[in-house]
């Protein structure tokens, strides 16, 4: 056999050079705060910014935008990892690729998402770079930056680390950002909606949390959008295809059990059922569903240690990206169909109030618990009944109450009319990206008025509001509506959201959030409906 010494030397040299450049690259890529501290600490705001800057040194295609400024003045980073040439939404859309948005740290006591998102970002610069030929990934690693900076060992004491403490749930104003998606009272939520969801229109939004609820056998639980007003095609695809695939990958590739988010009705009698949380769109996953896009809520299990929570969240993110690489094109078609369906007036009725329902009977992994005896330390102070954990994980047959159904429905109109005085409500609609117009002339119209039977404010405040519940009925009238009246046509992609915000009986709309309280004493609500299509001369508010 002839030998080719030069060639083989060249091969060896190339191998050596590649090896060296990989070593150099690996040395250059930054470590997360969790890694660098051996999982004793989580990143502060400056650490996250430093990490991103460190990655940008190795990858000049990695872009950073700031999608908002927190109440305390911190610029909120959004990192864009796509194919070369993707610098903004226009160039992203031109690729025809799905856009995946990962957001972490909305609750700044729940910090592993922030760490895992940085690790995924580093992979997108190095080992998983090829994924950037298949999608554009947007990452907001530190959404609630102000809450994050209040790191203390006094917070979330039942959570298993990190030992050097975590931030707080609320933002600088004391608001829970995962209850602010409809009313948009925080600068963080306003920035998120305007500069991420409206501007980039991600196909999938992943929202990373930690749960300290029931004792179960899952390292991580997850949820799709839960509000039934979202497109059924979209929810079905998540439940039938996307989430089962990710769950299977978590089991086979990572040896981890995951399942839909829930809690036992009673930790001691698990057969009474497993209950998911809430269908209202004040929660991000439900909100994104009303925008006709996919959402995945991720809840790492707070009783496993910090390193294990970072690891499972990281693996879950990897499998989400792999699943989008496989199904992204189909998901884009489903999302487009959901836009079209509402735009063309195919949705005639939708829910305004909802109740939780049984979804299926299944086996759920329960951690066997027994009543706490007097010598036992309660695991979660305030939790009733107090229980003692045994460490035994057993499957138990029970009903999964994992879905919601409407208990009251209302007609979806051709358009809504809003009184000229209601500028605050109109400003909210426009922040959501809903197109609002103004009537050019007085018009005599066949319309529906909401005749108010009564209005009640909640006794206890929530997020600094006493939520309002209206009773009453829609009634047909002929009426002359003055020029300048606001108009929201329902042939727009965000009509599902507009319906939810404007229906007087909606459980999470602008009536509920006190935008129309000054008119509650009136007989007629300041929002009217036009039911039948007709030509209307109106101009869009720019």
Q: Give strand pairing partners of 69.
A: 75
Hunting for tokens 């390292």 — which residue is that?
Answer: 219
Smallest distance, Zn ion to C-beta of residue 127, A: 29
Smallest distance, Zn ion to C-beta of residue 534, A: 45
Residue 107 or 247 with smaller CB distance to Zn ion: 107
Largest CA distance in the chain: 99
Beta strands in 126-262 (DSSP E): 136-140, 204-211, 220-223, 258-260
Q: Of 12-20, 206-214, 287-295, 324-332, which segment contacts Zn ion by CB under 5 A?
A: 206-214
Site for Zn ion in 425-444 (CB under 5 A): none
Burial of 154 (0-12, 13-18, 19+ CB in 10 A): exposed
Token code pair at residue 262: 């829930």
Smallest distance, Zn ion to C-beta of residue 298, A: 10
Q: Of 195-203, 205-213, 302-310, 316-324, which segment contacts Zn ion by CB under 5 A?
A: 205-213
Residue 65 or 110 with smaller CB distance to Zn ion: 110
Helix (H) or strand (E) holding 231: none
118 contacts 43 by C-beta, under 8 angstroms: yes
Token code pair at residue 61: 């295609």
Residue 300 or 452 with smaller CB distance to Zn ion: 300
Of 486, 470, 480, 388, nearest to 434 (Cα)? 486
216 binds Zn ion (CB under 5 A): no
Residue 45 or 277 with smaller CB distance to Zn ion: 277
Site for Zn ion in 108-137 (CB under 5 A): 110
Smallest distance, Zn ion to C-beta of residue 444, A: 50
Smallest distance, Zn ion to C-beta of residue 508, A: 18
Smallest distance, Zn ion to C-beta of residue 506, A: 24
Phi, psi of 520, rounded to the nearest 5 degrees: -65, -25
Cα distances (Å, whole numbers) of residue 263 to 266, 274, 383, 430: 8, 5, 13, 36
CA distance 509 to 501: 4
Phi, psi of 169, rounded to the nearest 5 degrees: -70, -45
307 contacts 39 by C-beta, under 8 angstroms: yes
In a 13 Å sphere around the CA of 487, the CA atoms on its Cβ side amount to 26
Cα distances (Å, whole numbers) of residue 370 to 111, 389, 391, 499, 506: 30, 7, 11, 47, 41
Give the 3-state secondary structure of residue 336: helix
Of 238, 226, 202, nearest to 323 (Cα)? 238
Smallest distance, Zn ion to C-beta of residue 166, A: 12
Burial of 5 (0-12, 13-18, 19+ CB in 10 A): exposed
Q: Of 106-114, 160-168, 277-285, 492-500, which segment contacts Zn ion by CB under 5 A?
A: 106-114
309 binds Zn ion (CB under 5 A): no
Smallest distance, Zn ion to C-beta of residue 208, A: 9
Residue 74 or 107 with smaller CB distance to Zn ion: 107
Smallest distance, Zn ion to C-beta of residue 313, A: 12
Question: How many residues sit in the footprint of Zn ion (CB under 5 A)?
Answer: 3
209 binds Zn ion (CB under 5 A): yes
Residue 304 or 494 with smaller CB distance to Zn ion: 304
Q: Of 203-211, 253-261, 375-383, 498-506, which segment contacts Zn ion by CB under 5 A?
A: 203-211
Hunting for tokens 């066997």 — which residue is that?
Answer: 368
Smallest distance, Zn ion to C-beta of residue 374, A: 33
One of 39, 62, 100, 107 touching Zn ion (CB under 5 A): 107
Cα distances (Å, whole numbers) of residue 423 to 52, 427, 467: 40, 6, 20
- Chain residues binding Zn ion by CB under 5 A are 107, 110, 209
């Amino acid at each position: 056999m002839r030998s080719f010494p030069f060639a083989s030397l060249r091969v060896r040299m190339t191998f050596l050079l590649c090896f060296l450049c990989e070593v150099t690259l690996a040395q250059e890529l930054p470590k997360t705060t969790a890694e660098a501290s051996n999982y004793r600490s989580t990143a502060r705001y400056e650490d996250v910014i430093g990490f991103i800057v460190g990655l940008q040194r190795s990858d000049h295609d990695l872009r950073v935008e700031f999608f908002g400024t927190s109440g305390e003045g911190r610029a909120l980073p959004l990192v864009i990892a796509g194919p070369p040439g993707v610098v903004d939404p226009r160039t992203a859309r031109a690729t025809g690729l799905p856009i995946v948005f990962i957001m972490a740290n909305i609750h700044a006591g729940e910090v592993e998402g922030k760490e895992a998102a940085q690790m995924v970002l580093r992979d997108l610069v190095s080992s998983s770079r090829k994924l950037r030929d298949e999608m554009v990934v947007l990452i907001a690693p530190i959404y609630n930056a102000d809450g994050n900076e209040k790191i203390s060992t006094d917070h979330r004491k039942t959570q298993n680390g990190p030992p050097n403490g975590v931030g707080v749930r609320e933002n600088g104003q004391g608001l829970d950002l995962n209850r602010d998606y409809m009313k948009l009272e925080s600068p963080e939520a306003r920035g998120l909606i305007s500069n991420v969801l409206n501007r980039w229109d991600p196909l999938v939004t992943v929202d990373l949390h930690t749960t300290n609820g029931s004792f179960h056998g899952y390292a991580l639980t997850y949820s799709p959008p839960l509000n039934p007003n979202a497109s059924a095609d979209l929810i079905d695809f998540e439940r039938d295809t996307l989430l089962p695939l990710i769950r299977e990958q978590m089991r086979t590739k990572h040896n981890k059990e995951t399942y839909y988010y829930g809690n036992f009705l009673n930790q001691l009698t698990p057969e009474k059922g497993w209950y998911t949380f809430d269908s209202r769109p004040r929660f991000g996953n439900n909100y994104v569903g009303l925008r006709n896009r996919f959402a995945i809520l991720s809840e790492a299990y707070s009783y496993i240690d910090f390193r294990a929570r970072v690891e499972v969240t990281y693996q879950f993110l990897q499998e989400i990206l792999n699943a989008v690489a496989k199904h992204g094109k189909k998901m884009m078609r489903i999302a487009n169909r959901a836009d079209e369906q509402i735009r063309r007036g195919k949705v005639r009725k939708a829910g305004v109030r909802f109740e939780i329902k049984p979804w299926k009977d299944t086996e759920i992994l329960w951690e066997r618990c027994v009543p706490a005896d007097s010598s036992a330390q309660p695991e979660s102070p305030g939790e009733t009944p107090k229980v003692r954990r045994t460490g035994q994980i057993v499957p138990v047959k029970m009903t999964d109450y994992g879905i919601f159904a409407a208990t009251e429905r209302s007609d979806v109109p051709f358009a809504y009319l809003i009184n000229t005085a209601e500028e605050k409500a109109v400003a909210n609609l426009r922040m959501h990206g809903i197109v609002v117009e103004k009537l050019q002339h007085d018009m005599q119209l066949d319309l529906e008025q909401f005749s108010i039977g009564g209005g009640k404010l909640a006794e206890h405040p929530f997020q600094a509001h006493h939520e309002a519940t209206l009773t009453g009925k829609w009634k047909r009238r002929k009426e002359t509506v003055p020029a300048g009246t606001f108009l929201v046509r329902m042939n727009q992609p965000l009509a599902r959201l507009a319906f939810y915000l404007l229906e007087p009986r909606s459980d999470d709309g602008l009536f509920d959030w006190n935008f129309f309280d000054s008119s509650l004493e009136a007989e007629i609500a300041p929002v009217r409906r036009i039911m039948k299509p007709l030509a209307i001369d109106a101009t869009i508010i720019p």
